[in-house]
Every structure is written in C-alpha cells, then in structure tokens.
C-alpha cells in the first residue's frame, strides 16, 4: 500500500496506519514527496511519484493507494499514471476539485486557497509566518489550525492524543518542507479533473461534520469516479477524526482481500 499524506502533512502522518498494518502483516509506504525538487513542475512531479511506486512492484504486481485530504488528489493523479497497476483506491477526508462545486463558504481553509490561487506572494508570506511558528511556538500553530475544528475534531483537539500526532507533522512540514507544501496547495487550487478515467475500485471515507473538506466534496467524488463502490459516511467525524476511525477499517478491508 502507498499512503499519500495531507497538506500540511508529512510522512509521520502514516503512523496512523502503523499498528493496523503490522497486525495484518501488510506493508505501507509513504513517500517524503515534499522533499522532491521537481514539485513546481506538476507533470514531472506526478510522473516521478508514479515511477517510485512502479520501482517497488514486481512484474504484474498491483498496488493499493490511500490518500488523505489534499493528498487524495495527489493519490488520484499518481493513480492515473499507474493505470491498471492500481487495484484499490481509498480516499479519506478527500478534497474534490474546487471548480466542481460551490465549497468555499463551508471550507475552513478557504482563505489559504484563495491566497494560493490569486495572491501567491501573500500565500508565500503566510507560509513563512507558519514556518516561524513551527520553530518557536508549534503548539500555537496547532491551536490556530484547530481553531475552527468541529465534530469529533473539536473533542480531539482538547486531548493530548491529537496534539502529539499533529504537532510533529506540522513541524516537519513547515520547518523543512514548506516549498513542497506550497507547491501541493498551488497545484490543488488549479486541479481540474473530471475523473472519468478512474475505474479502479474506489472507496470514499468522509466525516459528516468535516468543515475542511465539506461533505459535498465526498458526494461529488462519489458521482464523478466511475470506479467508486461505496461512500463511507462517518457520523459526527470531521477531518482527522475521520482518518483515525477509517485507518484500521481500511487496513482490515485490504487484508481481507
């Protein structure tokens, strides 16, 4: 399995799959994609990630793809270049193309996406501010990120569990990989894909209270992807709480196959 983390995100995010995958004897790989120097070159970026997946596989071997949040669109772009080598795709709290619906009014990250799309220099300055916070006050950066949390994410934000999970992710992302993060966000806001090519067996996992990737995005992806088999709507879950709940279920499902 290959896991594509979110943005902001890092390879440490893959820890959510560690225990379930070891329990079932499965191997999960997460690429440190923000470290790639070709991030600004969109097509080369996707091709290099696809090549990295192919190099891991034996002849005729297939791969299962898992994408979280903005990482879901990267997962789909890479899957498009892998074609029949992809057996299953699992999208968690997935962000749909922004031009596929009227989402901005419901999205907690709408301000960031507008900057990335229309005012890239201000987006750069905002990212530099977040980078400074990652060095001097990472817990404040966490608090800002979760200031709009709702559903089970709000409850999680008051516990040490989510903070211990997210703070290292944010530190790694903004301290060392801010250019890669910015590239992903800028690619996402320009993403325009009808997804008619996607015939791989695809499951969408989405929290009904998600305000970072609104539930309307899950409905759109479910209708747009020809290979979509099920929409797993997780009641009261939001963004990260959906990931925590879906991760062991995804691993168990893949193990059973």
Q: What is the distance in angstroms between the CA of the first residue and the CA of the last residue of the chain?
A: 13
**Structural domain count, the chain:** 1
CATH number at residue 28: 3.40.50.1820
Tell me the Ramachandran region of residue 230: left when phi exceeds 0, alpha when psi lies from -120 to 50, beta otherwise: beta
d(CA 221, CA 118): 25
CA 49, chain centre distance (Å): 15
Tell me the Ramachandran region of residue 202: left when phi exceeds 0, alpha when psi lies from -120 to 50, beta otherwise: beta
Question: What confidence tens digit (pLDDT) does each residue in 35-51 have?
Answer: 998 878 999 999 999 99
What three-state secondary structure class fits 225? coil
User: Which one, of 135, 116, 134, 132, lies nearest residue 124 by Cα?
Assistant: 116
Question: What confidence tens digit (pLDDT) does each residue in 179-218 have?
Answer: 999 999 999 999 999 999 999 999 999 999 999 999 999 9
Position 109 confidence tier, pLDDT thresholds 50, 70, 90? very high
Q: Domain of 109?
A: 2-256
pTM of the model: 0.96
């Amino acid at each position: 399995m290959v896991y594509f983390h979110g943005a902001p995100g890092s390879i440490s995010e893959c820890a959510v799959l560690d225990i379930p995958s070891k329990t079932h004897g499965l191997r999960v790989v997460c690429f440190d994609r923000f470290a790639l120097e070709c991030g600004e070159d969109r097509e080369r970026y996707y091709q290099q990630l696809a090549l990295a997946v192919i190099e891991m596989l034996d002849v005729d071997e297939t791969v299962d793809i898992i994408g979280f949040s903005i990482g879901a669109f990267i997962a789909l772009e890479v899957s498009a270049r892998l074609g029949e080598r992809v057996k299953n795709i699992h999208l968690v709290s997935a962000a749909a193309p922004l031009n596929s619906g009227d989402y901005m009014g419901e999205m907690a990250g709408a301000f960031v996406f507008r900057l990335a799309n229309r005012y890239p220099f201000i987006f750069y300055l905002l990212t530099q501010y977040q980078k400074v916070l990652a060095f001097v006050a990472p817990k404040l950066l966490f608090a800002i990120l979760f200031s709009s949390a709702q559903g089970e994410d709000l409850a999680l934000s008051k516990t040490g569990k989510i903070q211990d999970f997210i703070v290292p992710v944010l530190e790694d992302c903004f301290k060392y990989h801010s250019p890669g993060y910015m590239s992903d966000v800028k690619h996402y806001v320009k993403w325009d894909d009808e997804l008619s090519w996607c015939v791989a067996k695809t499951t969408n996992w989405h929290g009904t209270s998600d305000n970072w990737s609104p539930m309307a995005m899950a409905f759109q992806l479910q209708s747009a992807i020809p290979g979509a088999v099920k929409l797993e709507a997780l009641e009261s879950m939001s963004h990260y709480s959906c990931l925590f709940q879906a991760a062991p279920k995804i691993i168990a499902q893949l193990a059973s196959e």
